[in-house]
Amino acid sequence: MDLDRTNDHVFDNTTGVVRAVMEMSNKLQYAKADQYVILVKEVGLALKSLLTSVDEVTARIPADLHREIEMAHKVLSSDMANLIEKMKLAQKYSNTTLDQEYKKGMLQSAHILAMDAKNLLDAVDSARIKSHQIGQS
């Protein structure tokens, strides 16, 4: 079953998270330590929009299909906390020879978050399909 992505806020917001991570990746190399917060905040705001749209969709899906979505939701919250922690370390060591290593850690955390956002979309899509199949049987 193909999913109609018209007015699909979960899909749109997943794309928003990926875009925010890509923007952070592009800007981080040239950013000063005090600008890291702005970059991470953009990822956080995109993630918040995604999680809000997932909550709205989940409310329309039978409760027995929520488990996978909830697990993916928790992973993303943990990913965001990890990104913030990596950002703090990158700021702390920004004026040292380890600067690039800590920036790399930040980027790795952000990329994991983007992949997990896609996993959340997949979990929501799977629940939508199952819900649709249940409704038609």
| Residues 54-102 pLDDT 10s | 999 999 999 999 999 999 999 999 999 999 999 999 999 999 999 999 9
135: pLDDT strictly greater than 80: no
Length, in residues, of the chain? 137
Q: Which CATH number fits domain 9-136: 1.20.120.330, 3.30.200.20, 3.40.50.800, 3.40.47.10?
A: 1.20.120.330
C-beta separation of 68 from 123 below 8 A: yes
DSSP string covering 19-71: HHHHHHHHHHTT--GGGHHHHHHHHHHHHHHHHHHHHHHHTTS-GGG-HHHHH
Nearest CA-CA partner of 110 in 59, 76, 64? 76
For residue 1, the model assigns a pLDDT of: 58
For residue 132, the model assigns a pLDDT of: 80
For residue 3, the model assigns a pLDDT of: 75
Q: Compute φ and ψ for 94, nearest 5 degrees.
A: -65, -25
10: pLDDT strictly greater than 50: yes
For residue 4, the model assigns a pLDDT of: 80
What's the pTM? 0.92
137: pLDDT strictly greater than 50: no
